[in-house]
């Protein structure tokens, strides 16, 4: 997981926590569960069409139960690399241009 992806989780948790502590805890658990699923079945996410060669093969998958939060990741034969976890209302393409 990239440092930015880890920071994304912390930022989303803090934002949700401001209004609903229980929802924030559910979000954190949902992210962990979704990441565990991706680790087992990394090809499950759909390819994300993007013109950034560094992110060739980028995939996208929703956080279970928090479908507006999207996990962007790359896979290889031996591992999975979480690039970012972003809210779908943000300008995802612009954010990912800088990765």
Ordered alpha helix ranges (H), the chain? 3-19, 21-40, 92-97
Asked if residue 99 lies in contact with residue 84, where contact means CB atoms within 8 angstroms, the answer is yes
Rounded to two decimals, the pTM is 0.90
Tens of pLDDT along 44-83?
888 887 777 778 888 999 999 999 999 999 988 778 999 9
Tens of pLDDT along 2-19?
999 999 999 999 999 999
């Amino acid at each position: 997981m990239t440092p930015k992806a880890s920071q994304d989780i912390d930022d989303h948790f803090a934002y949700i926590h401001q209004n609903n502590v229980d929802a924030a805890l559910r979000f954190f658990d949902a992210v962990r569960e979704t990441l565990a699923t991706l680790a087992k079945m990394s090809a499950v996410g759909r390819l994300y069409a993007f013109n950034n060669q560094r992110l060739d093969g980028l995939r996208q998958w929703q956080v279970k139960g928090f479908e507006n939060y999207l996990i962007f990741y790359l896979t290889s034969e031996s591992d999975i690399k979480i690039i970012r976890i972003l809210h779908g209302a943000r300008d995802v393409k612009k954010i990912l241009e800088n990765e």
